[in-house]
Amino acid sequence: MSDNNRLRIAIQKSGRLSKDCQDLLKQLGVKLNLREQRLIAHATNMPIDVLRVRDDDIPGLVMDGVCDLGIVGENVLVESQAERQAQKLNANVTKLAKLDFGYCRLALAWPQELGQQPLSWFEGKKIATTYPEILKQFLKAQGINASTVLLSGSVEVAPRAGLADAICDLVSTGATLEANGLLQGETILESNACLIQNPAMDNPQKQALLDTLLPRLKAVRQAKESKYIMLHAPKSRLDEICELLPGTGKPTVLSLAGTDDLVALHMVSSETLFWETMEALKEKGASSILVMPIEKMME
């Protein structure tokens, strides 16, 4: 039975974003039973339902209000918005946050044996892609007339198979392009996973839940970027040592049992401590230097 007060979140069922999405929900405190191969997973500790679908379906589900929230690559979001606009369908979503996973680039590539080519080489060429709308907008903006061939997978084999002269595909390391004898050119879009919301969501209970989740999301991100630094320092060189510590936060100074010369310094830093800084700290008499990850923090 569907309960209209439960917040519905669409995530990718299986693919590159699935694990990160599940981890993120867990970090936000959402307890899910994902063992079963079901389309909908109900959270056991909050009024949240998670729909597990193909990533291509996520923007539409959120735009149509079937789901309140979705996590999807910006590449899929931008393409689907352009596609829906072309069909005169509602394409409104609110982007709540850019997430720190799912990074990739949508880039042009062509057979290596042709060597470096200027953008003008694409004039009159046939380009295979899964992202025809983003590609068409890019070509239009560059004043290039080229045709697109829509392929939903294995785009990188299109030139060799004689289906196209070049491709426009997602790249993260470039290894797949290289393995297929392709040379990477212009990046036309950089993408991360993002959290989107249906802007028409007007249920106060769902809004209250979202207002709890968003600060948690910010806190998770802050914790990931921060480090807890601890070290022992000679009292006489405290100022010099503090000057070397990263960030603007002031450390906590604690006395150490059994010694009057040494103190313990603790601080939360928004940056990590690089080896060079640790070595410089050691030269100034610091010892027992620890840099630790932070699991959660709230300011």
Q: Of 30, 170, 220, 267, which lies in the binding site for ligand ATP, with binding defined by CB under 6 A?
A: 170
If we measure between CA atoms, which residue out of 186, 270, 193 comes closest to residue 228?
A: 270
Q: Which stretch binds ligand ATP (CB under 6 A): 51-59, 159-167, 237-245, 291-299?
A: 51-59
If we measure between CA atoms, which residue out of 224, 293, 228, 206 comes closest to residue 20?
A: 224
Q: Which stretch binds Mg ion (CB under 5 A): 49-57, 103-111, 170-178, 228-236?
A: 49-57
Q: Quote the least distance from Cβ 15 to Mg ion, whole Å.
A: 7
Say which entry of ligand ATP, Mg ion, none residue 16 contacts (CB below 5 to 8 A, set by partner kind).
Answer: ligand ATP
Q: Of 25, 51, 52, 55, which lies in the binding site for ligand ATP, with binding defined by CB under 6 A?
A: 55
- Nearest residue to ligand ATP by CB is 73
Q: Is 150 in the site for ligand ATP (CB under 6 A)?
A: no
What are the contacts of 256-265 at 24+ separation with CB within 8 A? 256/232, 260/235, 261/234, 261/235, 261/236, 262/232, 262/233, 262/234, 262/235, 263/232, 263/233, 263/235, 263/238, 264/230, 264/231, 264/232, 264/233, 265/229, 265/230, 265/231, 265/232, 265/233, 265/238, 265/241
Q: Which is nearer to ligand ATP, 12 or 22 (CB)?
A: 12
Q: Quote the least distance from Cβ 75 to Mg ion, whole Å.
A: 10
Q: For residues 217 and 28, what is the distance between their CA atoms, to the nearest angstrom? A: 6
Q: Is 16 helix (H, G, I), strand (E, B) or coil?
A: coil
CB 80 within 8 A of CB 56: yes
Dihedral of the alpha carbons of 277, 280, 286, 288, in degrees to the nearest 10: 50
Q: Of 18, 29, 46, 56, which lies in the binding site for Mg ion, with binding defined by CB under 5 A?
A: 56
Say which entry of ligand ATP, Mg ion, none residue 12 contacts (CB below 5 to 8 A, set by partner kind).
Answer: ligand ATP
Binding residues with ligand ATP: total (CB under 6 A): 15
2-41 footprint of Mg ion as x/- string (CB under 5 A) = ----------------------------------------
Q: Is 73 in the site for ligand ATP (CB under 6 A)?
A: yes
Q: Which residues bind Mg ion (CB under 5 A)?
A: 55-56
